[in-house]
Amino acid sequence: MSYNVAEVLFKEEKTMNKQQIYYMLDHNGYNYFSVDHPAVFTIEEMENCNLPYMEYVAKNLFLRDDKKEHYYLVVMTHDKSADLKKLKDVIGSRKLSFASEVDLAIKLDLIKGSVTPLGILNDEDRSVEVIIDNDIMNNEKVGVHPNTNEASVWLSPMDMVKIIEDHGNKIKFIDIPKAG
C-alpha cells in the first residue's frame, strides 16, 4: 500500500502535539525551558532565531536501512555531521540513508524539520531505535523540538533518556566525531 504525506498526517489524532508534550513534562515533574519561534528546518535557521542555549541544541536525523526494516533516530550535538557509512558499522546496521517524509510521518507522525527525540512518543510499535551521541550526555541540557519546529524545549539529557526508556524504545549511546 502506498501513502502520501497528507494522508498520513491527517489520520486519526493519536499522537502528541506541543501542548501534550508540555503537559507530559509538567505532569512528570521534568524541569524544562521552552521558547516559541518561527518554523525552522535547519540548524542554521535556528541560529538565526537568536535562541538562548543554542550551544545545547541537538541535531536530529531520521534514518533507515536499505531494506526499510530498521529505523533510527540519531541525536547528536549540532556541530557534528554523521558519516552514514561509518555510522552503519558503529550501530551494526545495513547501509543507511535518510528516511522519506512519508516514513517520518508514518513512524513518528512528524514533518520534515520537526524531527526530535520526543517524537518517539508517537512511535506506537516502538520500532525506532534512538542513537544518542555521548557528547549530548555530557551537556547540562539538550534542546529539542516538542514535536513541532515552531518551538524548542531544553531539558536535561538524562530526562530525555528517561522519557525514551519509559516509552519503551531501544537506545544506543555512541561516539560521533566532529565534522572536519
Task: Render pLDDT for 41-84 as a digit per residue (tens, 0 to 9).
Answer: 988 999 999 899 999 999 999 999 999 999 999 999 999 988 89
Q: Dig out the grid coordinates for 159 from the structure.
A: 530526562
Domain ranges of the chain: 30-174
Any idea which fold 30-174 has?
YbaK protein (3.90.960)
CA-wise closest residue to 131 among 94, 171, 176: 171
More confident residue, 1 or 136: 136
Report, as an integer, the average pLDDT of 137-154.
96
- d(CA 38, CA 155) in angstroms, rounded, equals 20
Report, as an integer, the average pLDDT of 85-99.
93
Contact 19, 116 (CB under 8 A): no
